[in-house]
Amino acid sequence: MTAPRWAAALLRRLSRATGAEADVLIGDLEEAHRARVARRGAFVATLLTTLETMDIAFMLGRKRIPRLAVSWIDFKLAFRMLLRYPVLTLVGSASLALAIAIGAAAFAFISLFLWPRMPLPDGDEIVLVRHYDRAASQPEWRVVADFLRWRDGTTTLTDLAAGRGRARNLLMGDGLVEPISVAEVTASTFGMARVAPVFGRTLTDADASAAAPPVVVIGERIWRERFGADPDFLGRTVLISDVPTAVVGVMPASFRFPSIYEVWQPLKVNEGAVQPRAGIGIDIWARMKPGVTPEQANAELAVLSAQHAAAWPATHASLVADVQPATRAEVNDPEERTLLASMNGVIALMVLLVSGNVALLMFARAATRESEIVVRTALGASRGRLIGQFVAEALVLSVVAAIAGLAIAQRVMHWGLTTFVLEANDGKLLPFWVTPTLPPMSIAYGVGLAMAATLVTGILPAMKMTSGVSSRLRETTAGGGGLRFGGVWTVLIVAQVAVTATFPAIAFIVKTSAWQSEARQIGVPTDRYLTAELGRASEMTRARFEAAVRRVREDFAATSGIARVALADHLPLMWNGHHVIEVDPGGEGPTDEALVGAHFVKTAAVEPDFFPAFDAQPIAGRLLAQADNADVARVAVVNESFVRNVLGGRNAIGRRLKYRASSNGGLRIPQQQWIEIVGVVRDLGMGADPTDPRGAGVYLPLNLGALTDDAVRIVGLVAGDMTVATNALRAAAAKADAALRIGDVQTLAANTANGVKTINYIVAALGMVSAAALVLALSGLYAVMSFTVSRRTREIGIRVALGSPRSRVVLAILRRPLMQLAFGSVFGALLTVGLSRLMDLTVGFSLGLIAVGPIIFAVCLLACIVPARRALGVDPIAALRAE
């Protein structure tokens, strides 16, 4: 029974033994294995031989790894070397700093969105206690009765608190109404959070009694912005949804518990009348007692759940309780979480790529010190000693880069979150645990990246420089060879060029789709149209809401400088989901591939005044009229895209359509009922995405009583000052009904720009990465070219001396980098197409996109110019004499 062949191969490979030495080792392996088989059998012998092989291979292999020897003199020398080559130091440390900054900031962003932590004293102890209905597979929020029992029965949890979020209007003395999010919470919430008020007091149990006067605790930001930081504000009265409420305290700006709230009111519960699984829906929070684990809390809740089920079998049989972290991850989809987490890996790879690039620079510089290294070796310096010196230089560079990188990361974090809130999140606040401070884990991650960079930038060139020094000594004295760039460096440069070409290309593709949205015109000046969303508060009846909306509409229309006011559930160029319809069998265009005999359309419910408001004349038939208003829509107006895409260009008037699917927001759509088309208008930007081929639009009469999402949009053409019009609209809403919610007051142009803003945010981020990648690629190429020229000085001198044309000399030098550039560009194009597919972007063959490749190519060539000029400047006599 011979020893496994792979064991011999492993031994040979890892021990790095060659020739007779390797034969002896393999012979020993064979002999020992055969003896073992005879004693213990084949299976055990194979197992033991495997372990022994690994043991021997690693021990013998390790022996050959030189031990680093670093002293303080190396650091002193390192500083001097860095000062001696300022450009290299600047480029190298800037590259690493940029990479570390991107790595640490991205890690912080990803951590905030995936693994948020509660920024309160001992915040990790705070948990969300939840009931889950196993039968219905959904959480159960009507848990007031359970809250009261848990509060008295639990031994693992303490400071149980409860609350819910409410949308309210805040009316100040200035007559302007502002929609606000109010957290109705129990007084225990503040004790649980362990955060003291800045002024005044927090809520008390007495505030929650039915007879207590209404009170409110506000956040510091509101106090500063709306109360002008007035120190005498305590006890002042504000109108919260029409109820005069006294302000009793101010909480710090950093406290927005449970997530984005800046106004807190008492949660009023009549404990005597609470029924199991009935009443309002609430969240329950608690602190785990010191030393208690989530598992122990869950175990106790399971017992309590069983007791509840026994006490209330009719309602609690399928309910189970559990505890969860109180912070909510912004991204919950497992696939998206995995994708986001894997971004860390991609970024770490980028840092490695950058490190490789800096290693290239270090190596190129080290090559100029080859003779020094050879001499030092000859004088007895060990390989470990030489490597130690390189590592010291890399460490100094990395430490400088880490400090700068982490400072940049902090700025990026601040800028990124502020910009994200303003640009991509429509100005809405993020949960208060999303703070623009670089968390300690990110700092540790950044330091880790710096250490990895040290190893790559120090050890890679050092190993290369110090390997086979004695043979190189022979070669160089014989007048040939010397150091050369190997395959690893080539791969590095090609990868760099590929990545450099990819980022701008992707940014360009994303930006192109944004431009298409920006450039989209609907024939009217969208920046002159003021829009707002009017929402129904839960305490409003539908009739009250309808009456309030009509009053706002009348008052707004009566304001001077306002014309063409209209109501609609979706306005032009805004996001609009699609519906599936069928048309009568009178001839139609090709149907969507996904649906047989059906079409995707977008639907908007509009007032008759909607069309005049946007200067839309009937192309065929008529527009909607007041008489068309009915409980159920019977007629519709369609747009030109509908005629083209759905009807194949045929006459639309008199044709009928019916909806297959129910509403996805906006108007409740009558299903399976024929609706007659009475008119055709020009395309008015149905939906926000101009590239969506499903832009066919249907306009139905607006019925305020049939809205499914309890909100309608108002639009008006403003002739005068937009600020005056905005205030007039807010005042009209406050006057109509204090409970009416008004939000998103902005121009139609700003409203539609929100989608574009998100894209611009991504493009800006991609642009920054592109610029960084470009700088890195240039520095890498510059290093290679400089190195090539410095190594080939003698050859260039001879070529020039022999009368070789300059163009040929340049070509000889540029051949290798040109090949690398070409390969990099090709891989970059492939990477772009692949990533575009992954990101679901359409790659169009626009001139701009095609231009990205040559532009990158040309810019990279620039990096070759200086070394090429230096090559041509070589004096043949001097070059030959120098050797």
Partner 1 sequence: MTKTSAAATLAEFELIVLVAAMRLDDDAHAVSIAADISERTGRVVRRANVYTTLQRLEDKGLLTTALGDARPERGGKPRRVVTPTHDGVAAVRATMTAIRAMTHGVKI
For binding to partner 1 (CB under 8 A), which residues are involved? 2-3, 20, 23-24, 26-28, 30-32, 34-35, 52, 55-56, 58-60, 63
Identity of the residue, 23 or 475, whose beta carbon is nearer to partner 1 in the bound complex: 23
Give dist(CA 40, CA 49) in Å, integer: 12
Cα 576 to the chain's mean position, in Å? 24
Give dist(CA 480, CA 527) in Å, integer: 72
Q: For residues 491 and 729, is the Cβ–Cβ distance under 8 A?
A: no
Closest contact distance (angstroms) between CB of 53 and partner 1 is 10
Closest contact distance (angstroms) between CB of 68 and partner 1 is 20
> Which residues on adjacent β-strands are paired with residue 680?
620, 638
Identity of the residue, 1 or 858, whose beta carbon is nearer to partner 1 in the bound complex: 1
Mutual angle of helices 5-15 and 19-40, in 10-degree steps: 140
Closest contact distance (angstroms) between CB of 376 and partner 1 is 24
Identity of the residue, 15 or 305, whose beta carbon is nearer to partner 1 in the bound complex: 15
Backbone angles phi, psi at 511, to 5 degrees: -65, -35
Identity of the residue, 34 or 221, whose beta carbon is nearer to partner 1 in the bound complex: 34
C-alpha to C-alpha distances, 746 to 533, 690, 725, 729, 751, nearest whole angstrom: 10, 21, 10, 11, 6
Closest contact distance (angstroms) between CB of 69 and partner 1 is 20
Closest contact distance (angstroms) between CB of 470 and partner 1 is 20
Identity of the residue, 63 or 881, whose beta carbon is nearer to partner 1 in the bound complex: 63
Identity of the residue, 32 or 620, whose beta carbon is nearer to partner 1 in the bound complex: 32
Q: For residues 303 and 323, is the Cβ–Cβ distance under 8 A?
A: no
- Nearest 10 degrees: Cα torsion 431, 432, 437, 438: -50
Identity of the residue, 34 or 369, whose beta carbon is nearer to partner 1 in the bound complex: 34
The token pair at 575 is 């996001």
Closest contact distance (angstroms) between CB of 20 and partner 1 is 6
Closest contact distance (angstroms) between CB of 3 and partner 1 is 8
Identity of the residue, 14 or 459, whose beta carbon is nearer to partner 1 in the bound complex: 14
The token pair at 14 is 């890892």
Give dist(CA 364, CA 821) in Å, integer: 19
Going through 119-261 in order, the beta strands assigned E by DSSP cover: 126-133, 138-140, 157-171, 177-185, 199-200, 215-219, 237-240, 243-251
Backbone angles phi, psi at 530, to 5 degrees: -95, 135
Identity of the residue, 33 or 226, whose beta carbon is nearer to partner 1 in the bound complex: 33
Q: For residues 271 and 449, is the Cβ–Cβ distance under 8 A?
A: no
Give dist(CA 842, CA 509) in Å, integer: 8
The token pair at 731 is 């005042």
Closest contact distance (angstroms) between CB of 763 and partner 1 is 58
Q: How many CB atoms lie within 10 A of CB 629?
A: 15
Identity of the residue, 3 or 126, whose beta carbon is nearer to partner 1 in the bound complex: 3
769 CB-contact burial (10 Å; exposed 0-12 / middle 13-18 / buried 19+): buried
Give dist(CA 446, CA 405) in Å, integer: 8
Please report, as a single letter, which amino acid is at residue 504: P
Identity of the residue, 9 or 299, whose beta carbon is nearer to partner 1 in the bound complex: 9
Closest contact distance (angstroms) between CB of 55 and partner 1 is 5
Closest contact distance (angstroms) between CB of 42 and partner 1 is 16
Identity of the residue, 30 or 546, whose beta carbon is nearer to partner 1 in the bound complex: 30
Identity of the residue, 32 or 198, whose beta carbon is nearer to partner 1 in the bound complex: 32
SS (H, E, C) 316-367: HCCEEEEEEECCCCCCCCHHHHHHHHHHHHHHHHHHHHHHHHHHHHHHHHHH
Identity of the residue, 31 or 124, whose beta carbon is nearer to partner 1 in the bound complex: 31
Closest contact distance (angstroms) between CB of 381 and partner 1 is 20
The alpha carbon dihedral of 33, 38, 41, 44 has a sign of negative
Bridging pattern class, strands 215-219 and 243-251: parallel
Closest contact distance (angstroms) between CB of 57 and partner 1 is 9
Identity of the residue, 62 or 806, whose beta carbon is nearer to partner 1 in the bound complex: 62
For the chain, the first-to-last Cα distance in angstroms comes to 60
Give dist(CA 477, CA 501) in Å, integer: 42
Closest contact distance (angstroms) between CB of 127 and partner 1 is 51
Q: Is the peptide bond before 258 cis (omega within 30 degrees of 0)?
A: yes
Identity of the residue, 3 or 100, whose beta carbon is nearer to partner 1 in the bound complex: 3
Residue 425 three-state SS: coil
Backbone angles phi, psi at 631, to 5 degrees: -60, -40
467 CB-contact burial (10 Å; exposed 0-12 / middle 13-18 / buried 19+): exposed
Closest contact distance (angstroms) between CB of 33 and partner 1 is 9
The token pair at 862 is 């620039």
Closest contact distance (angstroms) between CB of 468 and partner 1 is 22
Closest contact distance (angstroms) between CB of 10 and partner 1 is 14
Closest contact distance (angstroms) between CB of 473 and partner 1 is 24
Identity of the residue, 44 or 880, whose beta carbon is nearer to partner 1 in the bound complex: 44
Give dist(CA 456, CA 359) in Å, integer: 7
Q: For residues 669 and 659, is the Cβ–Cβ distance under 8 A?
A: yes
